[in-house]
Amino acid sequence: MFEIRKTELEGVLLVEPGIFEDHRGSFVEIFNLDEYKDSGINVKFVRDALSTSAKNVLRGIHYDDKTWKLIQCMYGKIYFVVVDMREESKQYLKWQSFILSHQNRRQVLVPPYFGNGHLVLSESCTFYYKMSEYYDPGNEKILRWDDPEAGIFWPVKEPVLSRKDATADYL
């Protein structure tokens, strides 16, 4: 059973799967096509990916104009940010953050034209995402993580960045 709620950003959804726990541990269904369709989510996912990172690693903010992403932290804890990159939107450059962890099992559905990035809060994390499109490096765009126009709050002063994220241009 999934509880699916709207967020402050139009089109971005927060998904909270039911967690069943007993003396043996827990069980969580992380994807159910019928339940997603019944909730109005009619996205065809074509690929899944895992990413592992250490504490204070910041990845993103990446986006394109085609890809839906369903994001979840499988292990650890992350500070996850979504940014509206639709230039014609009233919410352009508005952002919202979420704490995703292996304990809360929350998921965020990120539509096309919305950037996403995350900062690892735990000693390490495993980040899982489903995507509706195959990777097209020519279509990928990057919003610099510290872009002054977006003004995203990150709970770290000096994150660990990839070369690509560290050298991305500001808007």
Q: Are 69 and 82 in contact (CB under 8 A)?
A: no
Bridge partners for 100 per DSSP: 78
Tokens 């990172």 sit on residue:
53
Q: Are 17 and 105 in contact (CB under 8 A)?
A: yes
Q: Which of the following is catalytic: 36, 118, 129, 134?
A: 129
CA distance 101 to 78: 6
129 is catalytic: yes
Q: Which of the following is catalytic: 23, 36, 62, 63?
A: 62
Any idea which residues carry the catalytic annotation? 62, 129
